[in-house]
Amino acid sequence: MEKSSEWKKTTKKYIRGVLIIEKPWCDVNMKKNTCTVNKILYRKSDLLTGTRYIFSVMLIMIICLTSMASAVFADSGDDKIISVSLINQDADPAIAGDVVELRISIENEGSVSAENVILELVPKYPFEMVPGESPIQEIGTIKPYLDSSDMKIVKFRLRVARDVNEGKYELDVWEYEEGKRDKIRVEKTITIDIANREFAEIIYIDKVELVPGRQTTMKFTINNVGSAPLRDLTFSWENEDDIILPVGSDNTKHIKYLDVSENIELSYDVIADSNAEPGLYKLLLSLKYDDSITGEENQVSTIAGIYVGGETDFDVAFSESSMGEYSFTIANIGSNPAYSVSVIVPEQKNWKIGGSNTAIIGNLNKGDYTVASFNLQQSGSPSSLEQDGKIIDTGGAKNMSATRGVIPNDATDMIAIEIEYTDTMGERKTVKNIVNINVNSEMDEKFASLSRTGKVNPTQNGITTTQWIALGLGLIIAVVLYRKYRKKKLK
């Protein structure tokens, strides 16, 4: 079905300054010619405003493009267009405190060769040139741009400040012709990415010696020597021989946060096996943390040595006295052997020493004992003494064990004994003891032993068998002499 020709036309007309465009639309599926008219209305003022807006935008774009071209490609002539750009950097991102290598490209996009070209870096914080590196490089002649082979690449090495924060930092690059640095040059600004490095170290162990069987506190110090905070650290240590073990906790400790340049102490209570042979033992130390730059787990592994052994301890007890000879029992009650042991009676009041005051007894293993004897003469017999501000009764004391301390000036039943020895580390050590001596209580003990057994035990402290024989002979002689005297008197 045909439509009337008057419906096929699009009409335009102005009504009171308004442009009206009429477009017919017909429904061909209808049996009758039923068409509608779409009217599009435009005001003249709207058309003029739109035209001006489009023109302004185009003008601004032209100005911007012209400015960019003049800033980037300025040179001494219109036919030389020098382009400078950063190709890459190594490392990427640069790490605070480390060296970064920059690869900068320079090319001539003009039609005439550029002669005597100079490229210069202008470093500022946080960048500085690596010692021995120059910020100025002579490029020479750059041919007109034909293909990528005409591009020249220049390398610069810079050091990044250790204390810089993570982020992006600008670096100026100048290009100019030799001799025209202050007249005509291209100034290019490139951006360098910088990240902080996380790094920690185990810097200190406060113990280098452990005495076997003795509980000791051992401290490890962890230090953040990087330029970024550390989070979620795990520290552990291990002795492969299981000679040194932690007590009351396991060997692993966790650190939640450690700021830059800070350190933290980790304490462990440890014991070395009492049966351990003296010597140097190896500790394996491990510190793990995540690297925020690479996302990988970093592990600091190191080895520390700790010596098991060292000093020991002694107990001294009075054993017996006979004809001015005093014997003392020396026992190694520590956890280590003692070498080149000497027992010394130092010069002191109330005791006189006859002969040598030193007895050399050689080596003494832990748990072993020996006897050392000296010729001594005792003077004075006070019944009490003052030690550390307290009055101590000694008249009936039966304790023969050694005590630590200083003998009061008026004490005659106490004697100082010194033991010198070489420990397992080769150091000469001295242990001082004060020994109680009570001859009266020993006599009582001897007589009690004699009445029970009918004989004197020669190994007991006090009067020996020889002394009893001598006493008996003396009594017999006294009786004989008394009888002779009495006979003479009767005559």
> What would the DSSP string read from start to end of 418-487?
EEEEE-TTS-EEEEEEEEE--HHHHHHHHHHHHHHHSS--TTSSSS-HHHHHHHHHHHHHHHHHHHHHHH
CATH code matching the domain that covers 82-195, chosen among 3.20.20.100, 2.60.40.10, 3.40.50.300, 1.10.3720.10? 2.60.40.10
- Residue 473 token pair: 């002979």
Q: How many CA atoms lie within 13 A of 334 on its CB side?
A: 22
Which CATH superfamily includes the segment(s) 202-300? Immunoglobulins (2.60.40.10)
Whole-angstrom distance, CA of residue 179 vs CA of residue 304: 61
Are the C-beta atoms of 376 and 326 separated by less than 8 Å? yes
Are the C-beta atoms of 109 and 186 separated by less than 8 Å? no
Per domain, the residue ranges of the chain are 1-72, 82-195, 202-300, 314-437, 446-488
Are the C-beta atoms of 284 and 301 separated by less than 8 Å? yes
**Close Cβ partners of 54 (under 8 Å, ≥ 6 residues apart):** none
- Residue 379 token pair: 């003077």
Q: How many CA atoms lie within 13 A of 15 on its CB side?
A: 8
The pLDDT value recorded for residue 470 is 78
Residue with tokens 């004075």: 380
Is the four-CA dihedral 349, 353, 356, 360 of positive or negative sign? negative
The SS3 call for residue 311 is: coil
The SS3 call for residue 399 is: coil
According to DSSP, residue 165 is labeled: P
Distance of CA 309 to the CA centre of its chain: 25
The pLDDT value recorded for residue 382 is 44
What's 101-140 look like in SS3? EEEEEEEECCCCCEEEEEEEEECCCCEEECCCCCCEEEEE
**Close Cβ partners of 259 (under 8 Å, ≥ 6 residues apart):** 224, 229
The domain 314-437 having CATH identifier 2.60.40: the answer here is yes
Q: Which helix (H) or strand (E) holds 70?
A: helix 44-72
Domains 202-300 and 314-437 share a fold: yes
Whole-angstrom distance, CA of residue 255 vs CA of residue 262: 12
According to DSSP, residue 74 is labeled: -
Angle at 319 between CA 318 and CA 325, to 5 degrees: 95
- Best CA proximity match to 330, nearest among 365, 284, 292: 365
Whole-angstrom distance, CA of residue 25 vs CA of residue 353: 141
According to DSSP, the residues that pair with 83 across neighbouring strands are: 107
User: What does the pLDDT look like over 138-156, one tens digit per residue?
Assistant: 988 888 875 556 788 999 9
- Best CA proximity match to 350, nearest among 404, 397, 394, 401: 394
According to DSSP, residue 401 is labeled: B
Q: What are phi and psi of 121, to 5 degrees?
A: -90, 145
The pLDDT value recorded for residue 184 is 84
According to DSSP, residue 146 is labeled: S
Q: Which residue ranges in the chain fall short of pLDDT 70?
A: 1-53, 64-78, 146-149, 198, 203, 292-295, 380-412, 439-467, 486-491
Whole-angstrom distance, CA of residue 38 vs CA of residue 282: 95
**Close Cβ partners of 68 (under 8 Å, ≥ 6 residues apart):** none
The pLDDT value recorded for residue 418 is 95
The SS3 call for residue 65 is: helix
Q: How many CA atoms lie within 13 A of 78 on its CB side?
A: 0
Residue with tokens 């030690």: 387
